[in-house]
Amino acid sequence: MRFLPQVVLPALAVAGEVYNTFDGDGFAACYEVAKVYRPSSIDEIVSIVQDASAAGTPVRASGNGHMWYDTMCSDDPSTIIIKTDAVNGISDLQMNDDGTGSVLVEAGVTFPQLAEWLQDRDAALGYTLVNWNITIAGAVAMGAHRSSLGEDSQVSSAALALDIINGKGELVHLDRDQSNDTWLAATTSLGLLGVIARVEMMVLADYKVWANQTTVDEDDVLNGDLYEEISPYVTANYWWWPGQRKFHKRTYGVVPADHDGDAFQSTFSLTDIEGSLANTLLGSGQNNSWQNFITEGIFYALWSAPNFHSESTDLPLLSWPVYGSAYEVLIGGLYPNQKPEWDYGLHGKTLELAVPITQANALLKRVRELLDQSKADGKAVTATYRSGINIKVLWGFNHAVGVNRADIGAMMFDFPSFKPSTGNGDRFNEECVTSQQFPVRPHWTKNTRDVFKQSVKNLNPDSLATFAAVRKRFDPDGIFKSVVGEILGVMD
C-alpha cells in the first residue's frame, strides 16, 4: 500500500487526481496532477505546451502508462499530463533496394500498431527493437531496450529523426548524428527535453524469426562466458529459476519471410482459470517461503514448453523451435478470450539494473550469495514471478544518460516479483537483491525512487553534465521536470 503525500493545494487550484500506471488504482505514476489532456493532433499538443510554457505549468507526456512506480512526474500538483494515444498517425513508408527503409510515426503510435501496419506492407521493425504495447516515442524517451549483443538493442538506435516540442512550445527537428551530444541526449531524453511528437524509424523488409529454448544449469551460467554464449544469436535472453538452480535460455534467429510458421507468444496472457490459480499460488506465498518454491517449480515446468500458439488455429505449439513473424514471436500479445495478468489483480514489482557485461558473472554470483543468505536467515527467497528472473544483454548502451561512451555491451538484470494484494502489499523478497555494490545504470521506468538515489553515484558525471546542458537549451524553465531528473541533478 502506498500512501499519498499530504499536499496543500493553493487556493483556486483544480482538484487534483492521481495519474496511474497501467496497473490501475493503487499504482500511481504521478500522485497528483491538475489535468489530463487527450489531444488529437500535433498542432494541439504544441498549443497545450505553449500555454503551459507561458504559465510556467509543469508538463509530462504519457503514452500507455506502461511503467512502474511513482517516477513519471515531479511532485508538483499543478502538473498537466498530455496523453498521446489519440495522436497516432503512421505515414511515409519508404523502402530502399537494400532491404532497409524508414517510416514516420506520431507520438501515440504503439509497437503492435506499427508492426501490423508494416506487415500489411511487407515490412517489419528490426528484430532487436520490437517492444510491448507501449508507444515508440515513450520507448525512445526512456531508453527502452530489447536484448541483443550483435545489434543495437535500444529502441532509440533505430530513430533516424525526431521532432520534439521544446519548453517554449517550438517544434524542433533533429536528424540522427551519433556523434552529436544533442542527438544522444534526445534519444534517451527521459522526457526532459520536451514532448517527442514524431519519430522517423528505420524499418526492414519483412522477415520471420525462430525462437528456441534450452535449459541450462545455474552453475554454467554463473561461471560461463555470457558474451560468448549469446553472441551467435540476433537476440537472446535468460530466465533464472533460482529455486530450481536452472536457467531457460531463449535464443532467436532470422529466416526468410516465406518460411512456414505462425507462432504467437503470450507472455502476459491468461485464462480466467489460470489467473485465479496464479493469484492463489502467489498470494499464499506472501509470508511463506516454502509455498514460493513450490509455485516456482510449477511455473518452471510450464515455461519449459513453448508459451506459443499458432496464430491461425490458436492451438498450443508443443516443441521448440517455433517460427513466425518477428512481432508475434518476440512479443506476441493476448490469446483469444484471455486477459493480461494485471486484469486478474496479478501485479508485479520490479527492479532492473544494467552492468557492463564484464561484470555480469560477478553480479549474478552476488545475487546467488544474497539468495543463499536469505535461506540461512530462515526466509528463503526465490523467483515469485511467473516467468522467472529475466537476464537481457544489450548493445548500443552509449545512448544512455550518465554512462561512459565506450561501448562494451551490458547485462540487464530484471528481478520482477509478485506484489500481493493482501496485508501490507509487500513482496516476500522486498529487501533482497537490491545490491548497490556494482556500477549499475538503472532502467529508467522500472525502479523505485530509492534505487535511482542509490545509483546516482555510479553514473558518469561528465555525461550527466552534458545531458543537463542540452536539457537547459531545450527547456530553460524546466517545465518537463520529473523526479528522475531531479534525483539525477540535471534540472538546474
Ligand X SMILES: Cc1cc2nc3c(=O)[nH]c(=O)nc-3n(C[C@H](O)[C@H](O)[C@H](O)COP(=O)(O)OP(=O)(O)OC[C@H]3O[C@@H](n4cnc5c(N)ncnc54)[C@H](O)[C@@H]3O)c2cc1C
Is residue 182 a contact point for ligand NAG (CB under 6 A)? yes
Is residue 36 a contact point for ligand NAG (CB under 6 A)? no
Can you tell me which of 46, 160, 174, 254 binds ligand NAG, judged by CB under 6 A? Answer: 174
Is residue 117 a contact point for ligand X (CB under 6 A)? no
| Size of interface with ligand NAG, in residues (CB under 6 A) | 19
Cα Rg of the chain, angstroms: 22
Segment 326 to 355, residues that bind ligand NAG, using CB under 6 A: 333
Question: Contact letters (x/-) for ligand NAG, 357-376, by CB under 6 A?
Answer: --------------------
Q: For residues 133 and 361, which CB has a smaller minimum distance to ligand X in the complex?
A: 133
272 and 345 in contact (C-beta within 8 Å)? no
- Report, in Å, the least distance between residue 372 CB and ligand X: 28
Is residue 178 a contact point for ligand NAG (CB under 6 A)? no
Distance of CA 174 to the CA centre of its chain: 24
95 and 104 in contact (C-beta within 8 Å)? no
69 Rama sector, left if φ>0, alpha if ψ -120 to 50, beta otherwise: left
DSSP structural state of residue 129: T
Coil vs helix vs strand at 82: strand
Best CA proximity match to 212, nearest among 244, 237, 185, 187: 237
Out of ligand NAG, ligand X, none, which partner does residue 212 contact, by CB within 5 to 8 A per kind?
A: ligand NAG
Is residue 16 a contact point for ligand X (CB under 6 A)? no
Is residue 64 a contact point for ligand X (CB under 6 A)? yes
Q: For residues 261 and 333, which CB has a smaller minimum distance to ligand NAG in the complex?
A: 333
> In Å, how far are 108, 197, 247, 471 from 40, measured between CA atoms?
10, 12, 46, 27
Is residue 130 a contact point for ligand X (CB under 6 A)? no
- Report, in Å, the least distance between residue 61 CB and ligand X: 4
Count CA atoms within 13 Å of residue 136 on its CB side. 35
Segment 225 to 264, residues that bind ligand X, using CB under 6 A: none
Q: For residues 36 and 456, which CB has a smaller minimum distance to ligand NAG in the complex?
A: 36
Look up residue 314 and give its three cell numbers.
490458436
Question: Contact letters (x/-) for ligand NAG, 385-424, by CB under 6 A?
Answer: -------------------------------------xx-
Best CA proximity match to 77, nearest among 14, 152, 147: 14
Best CA proximity match to 254, nearest among 224, 270, 236, 233: 233
Helices (H), 84-188: 111-119, 136-141, 181-186
Can you tell me which of 52, 139, 158, 360 binds ligand X, judged by CB under 6 A? Answer: 139
Question: Contact letters (x/-) for ligand NAG, 131-160, by CB under 6 A?
Answer: --x---------------------------
Task: Please confirm whether the linkage preceding 420 is cis (ω < 30° from 0).
Answer: no
Kindly tell me the sign of the dihedral angle through the C-alpha atoms of 179, 185, 188, 194: negative
Q: Which residues bind ligand X (CB under 6 A)?
A: 22, 60-67, 72, 84, 107, 131-132, 134-135, 137-139, 141-142, 144-146, 191, 195-196, 268, 445, 482
